[in-house]
Amino acid sequence: MSEKRFTILVIPEGSHQVRRFGVRLSVLKRIAAAAVVLALVLAGLITDYVLTNLDQNELERLQVENLSQREELHRLVVKLEDLRQEIVVLAQNDAKVRVMAKLSAPKSDSMVGVGGPATQEDVNREFSVIQQRIDEVRRQIDLRRESQEEIQGILNDQRSLLAAKPGGWPVKGWLTSSFGMRRDPFNGRRKMHEGLDIAARTGTSVTATADGIVSSVKTEPGYGKVVILDHGYGYRTIYGHNSRYYVKVGQRVRRGERIAAVGNTGRSTGSHVHYEIRLNGVPVNPRKYL
């Protein structure tokens, strides 16, 4: 059986001449198959071209993003290095203060280096390293803060102790009797004199020799009109033979604040102040505190 044939007529425009072409069915099938293959190849090329452009654009975007991240990493490293330098200065100052205050070293003075540019290829790893450095800096800041709080607490205690420790003269005058054994001016017997006698004109201001609280304002046969101050840390001061008071029990006073006036009350031979310092209840020589 002969193969089917198809006739193709070609009539040019404006011409009466007709051209005939005979084509076998197998040829048409091959042409159709070639067209399909060509269309598929063309579609593949177009798809590949589009995907390649998309990948290129995504690559360029990622490169820009990566560059931006690296620049941000570099800025962060620079800031961390500046912060580390500040912490080093703080640590040095902290150590100087501790030496001056005779304090022991803080928990840790080790400083982990945080300087240098980011060189790792993996950006996520770089961020992880930077975060570790940030955590270390924060830890050092916490240590410095704790150290400063400790120093401040100790210095406050020392300042309080210094303010509570008697110092200076309670009145402007002249010394008439010292601390220690002496002859009693009334009976001539040797007796312990537990303070200093400082002579001054009646009405002269008597001032507190340290910060404290007025624990007693009263009249006693021996002391006359007496003021007793409690300074804490075991210190108490006694001011006797006053002519009048300027404070009351429970009042807080400061060093140099007027508390009484010189007088001649009680067992006294003249206008003066009997001044005592007691440490943990034991009389001590006030001359060591003037």
Per-residue pLDDT reduced to its tens digit, 185-234: 777 788 888 999 999 999 999 999 999 999 999 999 889 999 999 999 99
If pLDDT is split at 50, 70 and 90, which confidence band does 265 have? very high
For position 209, what pLDDT does the model report? Answer: 96
Of 271 and 46, the structure prediction assigns the larger pLDDT to 271
Q: What are phi and psi of 36, to 5 degrees?
A: -65, -45
Taking residues 118-138, report their average pLDDT: 66
Burial of 267 (0-12, 13-18, 19+ CB in 10 A): middle
Handedness of CA 280, 284, 288, 290 (dihedral sign): positive
Q: What gap in Å lies between CA 23 and CA 155, rounded to an integer?
A: 112
If pLDDT is split at 50, 70 and 90, which confidence band does 130 have? confident
Q: State how far the alpha carbon of 196 is from the alpha carbons of 169, 183, 217, 218, 275, in Å.
A: 10, 14, 19, 20, 5
3 state SS of 210: coil
DSSP state of 2: P
Q: What type of residue is 192?
A: M
If pLDDT is split at 50, 70 and 90, which confidence band does 237 have? very high
Of 226 and 55, the structure prediction assigns the larger pLDDT to 226
- Per-residue burial over 208-224, b if 16 or more Cβ lie within 10 Å, else e, is bbbbbebeebeeeeebb
Tell me: pLDDT of 102 over 60. Answer: yes
260's tokens: 């009484």
For position 223, what pLDDT does the model report? Answer: 93
Q: What gap in Å lies between CA 241 and CA 271, rounded to an integer?
A: 8
Q: State how far the alpha carbon of 236 is from the alpha carbons of 18, 19, 233, in Å.
A: 139, 138, 9
If pLDDT is split at 50, 70 and 90, which confidence band does 73 have? confident
All structural domains of the chain with their residue ranges:
5-72, 77-164, 174-289
Of 277 and 82, the structure prediction assigns the larger pLDDT to 277
Name, in order, each residue with C-beta under 8 angstroms of 271's C-beta and a sequence gap of 6 or more: 199, 200, 201, 202, 241, 262, 263, 264
147 Cα distance to chain centroid: 9
Tell me: pLDDT of 19 over 60. Answer: yes
Taking residues 152-165, report their average pLDDT: 82
183 contacts 190 by C-beta, under 8 angstroms: yes
Mean pLDDT of the chain: 82
Question: Considering the domain 174-289 in this protein, what is its CATH number?
Answer: 2.70.70.10
For position 262, what pLDDT does the model report? Answer: 96
Tell me: pLDDT of 8 over 50. Answer: yes
For position 231, what pLDDT does the model report? Answer: 95
Of 71 and 260, the structure prediction assigns the larger pLDDT to 260
For position 49, what pLDDT does the model report? Answer: 81
Tell me: pLDDT of 65 over 90. Answer: no
Taking residues 84-102, report their average pLDDT: 75
For position 113, what pLDDT does the model report? Answer: 43
Question: Of the ranges 19-23, 108-112, 166-170, which is most confident?
Answer: 166-170
Tell me: pLDDT of 9 over 60. Answer: yes
Strands (E) located in the chain: 5-10, 19-24, 174-177, 180-183, 190-193, 196-199, 205-207, 212-220, 224-232, 235-245, 252-253, 258-262, 272-279, 282-284
